[in-house]
Amino acid sequence: MTSGEPITGGADRIVRDVVCGFCGLGCDDLEVAVAGRAITPRTACPEAARLLARSDAPPPSPRINGAPASFEDATAAAAGHLKAARSAAFSGLGADLEGLRRLYDLAMASGASLDHAASGGLFANLERLARKGWIAATLAEVRNRCDVLVVFGDDPASAFSRFFSRAVPVRGEGADGDAAPLFVTAPGRRQIAVVGGPLSEASRRVLAAHEVTEIAVAEQDVATATSVLTALVAGRVVDGLAGLPEATVAALAALAEQLKAARYAVFTWNAASLPAEDAPVVAGAASEAVDVLSVTTRAAVFPLGGRDNVTGAHQLALWRFGYPLRTAVGAGTSRHVPELYATAAALPDADLLLHTSAFRPDAPPDFDRGPVIAIAHPDTVFAREPEVFIPVGTPGVDYGGHVFRMDSVVCLPLQALRPAELPSVAEAAAAILVSFGRGA
Amino acid sequence: MRTRITGGRVFDPANNIIDQVRDVLLEDGRIIADSPPVAGEQRVDASGTIVLAGGIDLHSHIAGGKVNLGRLLMNEDRALFPEPFGDFCGCGGGRAAPTTHATGCRYSQMGYTAVFEPAVVGANARHAHLEMADIPNIDTGGFLVLGNDDFLLRLIAQGEGQQAINDYVAWMLKATQCCAIKIVNPGGINAFKFNGRALDFDETGPFYGLTPRRVLNTLQRAVSELGVPHPIHLHGCNLGVPGNVKTTLATIGASEGFPLHLTHIQFHSYGTEGDRHFSSGSAEIAEAVNANPHISVDVGQIMFGQTVTASADLMSQYRNHGIADPKKWIGMDIEMDAACGVVPFNYRDTSFVNALQWAIGLELFLLIEDPWRVYLTTDHPNGGPFTSYPHLIRLLMDKPFRDEHLGRIHKAARAHTKLAEISREYTLEEIAVVTRAAPARTLGLRDRGHLGPGARADVVLYEEQADREAMFAAPRLVMKDGEVVVVNGEVVALTQGRTYAVHPPSDPLMDKRLERWFDEAVGLKASHYKIADGEIRDGQGPEIVELMP
């Protein structure tokens, strides 16, 4: 199914301009049909359609050690476990900002390390952003100014279905005076280069009007190719340096010339889909290319990411604690040690896991050193029954809330699409906090 | 319950009460008219203190995307200044880019009860508001950055009438829940997106063919006709460029009778005289401000030490990024609205330029005669962290203290400033004006900045001390809406503030135009760009500032 293709279904009520909080691209023109509590997506990308679709079935009740329990008992049990814990890890953090605020309150009260399930790509990018910085652009700037777009790695549409149609739309004949792009000289024809790939057939169709160059590079060579391209842009010698095929280096050299002639070049990559050790290299090389180009022309990076509001979790951590995620908070202090507090690193030392995943039914990571509290999507299938399971509604389906778009600038309002029968993450975390405080 | 604050020396210049020992009565969060004591009223002994209204900072970058980028770059500063332990510790800290909780607590501890974020970019407004809602103990508001937004520039370039401009400005103010309009480098941020590297006041910018003067005048007329109380809050052209005193004087001369606020004017008061081609333009600027009663300024004093500069002016920040200290910086072009540049700086008294900047700021404070048109700021954190205000107040109030500090700065800079010749010392009355009464007046906040009946019960008691820095750093008592939040410089309670906004009406046709613009150009629905009242402070909604028709 290609992006934007309508999914039809009969219903009582059509909701238009639905904001989507799932992948991070922040599309806000989706359409769903709602009948009672059933939701049938009508216009949505495949991932959003899968995550928005709901049946009329009643939601599960909370569980304590696998047995049905009331919300009050479940939150009290969660608080009891938190009180007994000495080293709690909060993982997942898939929630709207309101939910995250209450989860962070809880972490401050109980003491816990904080990390998001999708923070891997973010931290690869922070290797560059926090240490040296970069020049970035937001989505509307890319839409309207970008005349040369360079993609490093795999097809962005594999994780962000509508990326190309939203970031580099074509301005057709007779288009509205407001239609993007407003500032690209040949509006119907931008230069799109993919270093990595391949593009899917669907992406090739979306990009058909543009001048597309696919420079096929194997996944493990993308970082090298990125560095070579930056070196070529900077006028450095790359002979014999890369181990890349001659044809690839020649294609990168041609791309470097296009970039130097560009008015507003944009570099994009999905750090989460690159090999972990290569992602920071790509972020660094792309940012350096922008630095070099900026001396004479304009250029920017546009890093892809932001699944399940990881950008919001990052922003909130910064304004609350002054540090990004992978920080342990409690007893009035914060310690930011990414090597210790990334979920995978924190779990071997933790004695409690509190996992939150409201956007999708992602199970908690494996953990057997203590109790597991799951504030989770009702469809979550657990490999090991958590000590406490509190099913929660989905932001943007069952209740409203706020999520950040991947560019970290635009924060979007999610709306409820149906009457909520499950609590929100904020309600669940607040209830645990009340129980925690009452007995403390 | 009624509270009587008794025995203090009251400074309430807005009500023409200067250094009078008298009672101040509070009831239900408001100040009420003095009346005979009644049974059960609470008494607060204010003897030995001076009594002021809560402080108001009208220009301090406390929230939003660029502040968070500042936090990201300032991990060392954050680690060096953790919040103090205790019941009111929020697991945060930092001095140059403090966390939300630390921001509220540190401001509150100095006796401030309202702080305005002066650079809200429309696309980032929701973030700024969410962050402001997380700041305890202070009321907040945002100034919306316009003047580089493509929709506006196109309206002006196409020769659309003033009414269309006004409708757009009104629509944007309401959509972003802001309370004033700020212009940052008019047209310049936009020009940089087209690779323009400088844009002087009467220079024609790329693509739209507009001069900064035209952008400024158009928006001045808009806020004036809409009745927005605060005039255009202008960060002018050529920030930080030696010789920009000419630009600033031209700007003052171009205001066409409309009131105009020139922000962080210290950064816009540089000459090119002397062997280093960098000199103080403060005398000319002060003379022009003194001669033009429709001009107000805040200073943007620089304070020595580590900080981070965060500005929407990417054109200027790109120019400055080479002197970043530590060597890292972030730039961003933002959503057809504006941009941002975040550059760490370390101002050193051993640097000729920094030392002279310090002296220029103080000269401006001391040479501009009317305290009602000067507001005390460091342009936090751009000139220095707001926590340096007590030190700055002492520099203004204490000539020997000032001279002692002048004696420590770079020798050549000392030779380039007339600071030693200026004998003026700010009085307590003048401090009450520049930190309270004047900012409240320019923002149209009728129930703030004074202690008259009907005012918000934000009251501060400062222990009278010869050391004005110590005095203003740790008030004996701070009341916010009648509730005690600080005792002897320590936070004792946390309260939720409010958010100020203006909601001028706009023609519904503008809704239609902007719906199309957002759909087609921006790629976001106008309805999702707009911030609903209920989104402000978890449903509390904004406090609407009255328009002045």
Over residues B66-109, the pLDDT tens digits come to: 999 999 999 999 999 999 888 888 899 999 999 999 999 999 99
Residue A209, helix vs strand vs coil = coil
pLDDT single digits (tens) A82-112: 999 999 999 999 999 999 999 999 999 999 9
- Show the DSSP H helices in A41-135 as ranges: 46-52, 71-84, 97-110, 119-129
Which residues, listed in sequence order, are joined to residue B5 by a DSSP beta bridge?
Answer: B24, B44
How large is the average pLDDT for residues A188-215? 95
Closest CA to A56 of A78, A74, A34, A81: A34
Q: What is the model's pLDDT at position A440?
A: 37
Distance CA A251, CA A343 (A): 40
- Name the E strands within B407-448: none
CA distance B544 to chain A (A): 22
Distance CA A298, CA A262 (A): 8
Distance CA B545, CA B227 (A): 11
Which residues in chain A have their CB less than 8 angstroms from residue B134's CB? 101, 319-320
Q: What is the pTM of this model?
A: 0.97
Residue B87 touches chain A, beta carbons under 8 Å: no
Mean pLDDT rounded to a whole number for chain A: 94
Distance CA B70, CA B331 (A): 11
Tokens of A51: 């995550």
| Residue listed under structure tokens 């990595």 | A196
Closest CA to A290 of A269, A307, A312, A267: A267
Q: What is the model's pLDDT at position A188?
A: 65
**A-to-B residue pairs, Cβ atoms closer than 8 angstroms:** 184
The alpha carbon of residue A428 and the mean position of all alpha carbons in its chain are separated, in whole angstroms, by: 23
Which residues, listed in sequence order, are joined to residue B332 by a DSSP beta bridge?
Answer: A136, B340
Asked if the interface predicted TM-score (ipTM) of this complex is over 0.85, the answer is: yes
- Asked if residues A380 and A363 have their Cβ atoms less than 8 Å apart, the reply is yes
Q: What is the model's pLDDT at position B85?
A: 81
How large is the average pLDDT for residues A237-250? 84
Q: Of chain B residues 293-352, which have a CB less than 8 A from chain A?
A: 318, 327-336, 342
Residue A283 touches chain B, beta carbons under 8 Å: no
Please answer yes or no on whether A322 and B195 come within 8 Å at the CB atom: no
Flag whether pLDDT at A3 surpasses 60.
Answer: no
| Residue listed under structure tokens 């049990």 | A77
Instruction: Name the percent of chain A lying above pLDDT 70.
Output: 96
- Asked if residues A293 and A258 have their Cβ atoms less than 8 Å apart, the reply is no
Q: What is the model's pLDDT at position A240?
A: 66
Q: Of chain A residues 68-97, which have a CB less than 8 A from chain B?
A: 97
Give φ, ψ of A333 to 5 degrees: -125, 170
Please answer yes or no on whether B100 and A297 come within 8 Å at the CB atom: no
**Contacts of residue A113, Cβ cutoff 8 Å, sequence gap at least 6:** A88, A89, A90, A326, A327, A328, A329, A340, A341, A346, A350
- Closest Cβ opposite residue B78 in set A141, A182, A323: A323
Distance CA B110, CA A361 (A): 48
pLDDT single digits (tens) A144-197: 999 999 999 999 999 999 999 999 999 877 888 899 999 998 766 899 999 999
Which residues in chain A have their CB less than 8 angstroms from residue B535's CB? 402, 413
pLDDT single digits (tens) B144-165: 999 999 999 999 999 999 999 9
Q: Of chain A residues 340-399, which have a CB less than 8 A from chain B?
A: none
Q: What is the model's pLDDT at position A241?
A: 66
Distance CA A193, CA A209 (A): 14
DSSP letter at A56?
Answer: S
Q: Of chain B residues 527-546, which have a CB less than 8 A from chain A?
A: 527-528, 531-532, 535, 538
Please, what is the angle between helix B389-397 and helix B352-367, to 10°?
60
Please answer yes or no on whether A320 and B98 come within 8 Å at the CB atom: no
Distance CA A349, CA A330 (A): 16
Give the residue on A whose Cα is nearest the Cα of B130. A97
- Asked if residues B173 and B144 have their Cβ atoms less than 8 Å apart, the reply is yes
Q: What is the model's pLDDT at position B337?
A: 98
Task: Mean pLDDT check: name the lowest of A25-29, A244-248, A358-362.
Answer: A244-248
Closest CA to B72 of A374, A402, A11, A314: A314
CA distance A321 to chain B (A): 4
Q: What is the model's pLDDT at position A4?
A: 38
How large is the average pLDDT for residues A212-233? 97
Which residues in chain B have their CB less than 8 angstroms from residue A19's CB? 528
Flag whether pLDDT at A141 surpasses 90.
Answer: yes
Domains of chain A: 57-118+308-394+419-436 (3.40.50), 121-305 (3.40.228.10)
Tokens of A130: 């926090």
Please answer yes or no on whether B327 and A178 come within 8 Å at the CB atom: no
Distance CA B55, CA B108 (A): 9
How large is the average pLDDT for residues A368-384? 97
3-state helix, strand, coil in chain B (%, to 5): 40, 20, 40
Q: Which residues of chain B have pLDDT under 70?
A: none
Residue B36 touches chain A, beta carbons under 8 Å: no
DSSP letter at B535?
Answer: G
Q: Of chain B residues 361-380, which have a CB less than 8 A from chain A?
A: none
Please answer yes or no on whether B516 and A319 come within 8 Å at the CB atom: no
Kindly tell me the sign of the dihedral angle through the C-alpha atoms of B259, B260, B261, B267: negative
Q: Of chain A residues 10-39, which have a CB less than 8 A from chain B?
A: 17, 19, 26, 28-29
Q: What is the model's pLDDT at position A9?
A: 43
Q: What is the model's pLDDT at position A438?
A: 52
Please, what is the angle between helix A310-321 and helix B100-109, to 10°?
30
Distance CA A124, CA B239 (A): 34
